[in-house]
Amino acid sequence: MNKFAHSHHGLAPVVVVVDPNGSQNGNTMCMDSQIAKAGTYLSVDVPKWMKTNLDVQADTSRWAFGGFSFGGTCAIRLGTEQPAIYPNILDLSGQLEPALTANRTVTIQHSFGGNTAAFDAKTPLALLSRNKYDHSFAYLSVGADDYHYGPEMGTLSAAAKAAGMIVVDAKVAGMGHSWKAAKVGLADGLEVLSKRMGLAR
């Protein structure tokens, strides 16, 4: 953020780093489930705290939700579930959908008591398939050598575009699933978002 401000005449976005999990090993998947009410926390409690305690615009049209890996998954999930609050998404190497383990059945059992329909209804692909996002924007960045999340990001991108979302796809050359890829994606994504938010021309 300091580097961004230095190159933009002192202007930079207000950045709030939020812990949606509550512990180092926790995983709420950023949704309301049997595990926690993380979706409510992120869409009600956090915005209320921000508006009360920070000098931020009450108009959320310039708000964004971003993150890397788990955080990217969280961003696309909240951005599709709460587009009025988070109309701008910065998804850096996120997953196709939230997960507790690689075993989808285990994830659904622990989070929704085995109710697959309830879980499916909260996934980004399901939300994108049944809603329109004509006022939403997504910057989707992934390492060009990320052979696991790369194809998933391509699937998300196609679904987002079909739902009316403005999407910018980015591939970080020579990178896999790493913080190095996230660093490049964040810097490039901020440049794009800054123009959309009026921080830069």
The pLDDT score that the predictor gives to residue 14 is 92
pLDDT tens, residue by residue, 47-95: 999 999 999 988 999 999 999 999 999 999 999 999 999 999 999 999 9
User: Can you tell me the mean pLDDT for 4-13?
Assistant: 88
Our CA angle for 155, 158, 162, nearest 5°, is 140
- How does residue 147 score in pLDDT terms, banded at 50, 70 and 90? very high
Reported pTM: 0.94
Percent residues over pLDDT 70 in the chain: 100
Nearest to 92 by CA among 47, 124, 155, 138: 138
Check: CB of residue 182 under 8 Å from CB of residue 93.
yes
pLDDT digits (tens, 9 = 90+) for 174-188: 999 999 999 999 999
User: What's the whole-number average pLDDT of the chain?
Assistant: 95
Burial, 12: exposed, middle or buried (Cβ in 10 Å; 0-12, 13-18, 19+)?
middle
Domain ranges of the chain: 62-196
Q: Sorting pLDDT into bands at 50, 70 and 90, what band is 11?
A: confident
Return the CATH superfamily for domain 62-196: Alpha/Beta hydrolase fold, catalytic domain (3.40.50.1820)
- pLDDT, tens digit, 9 for 90 and up, residues 89-118: 999 999 999 999 999 999 999 999 999 999
Is the per-residue pLDDT at 199 higher than 90? no
* pLDDT reported for residue 61: 93
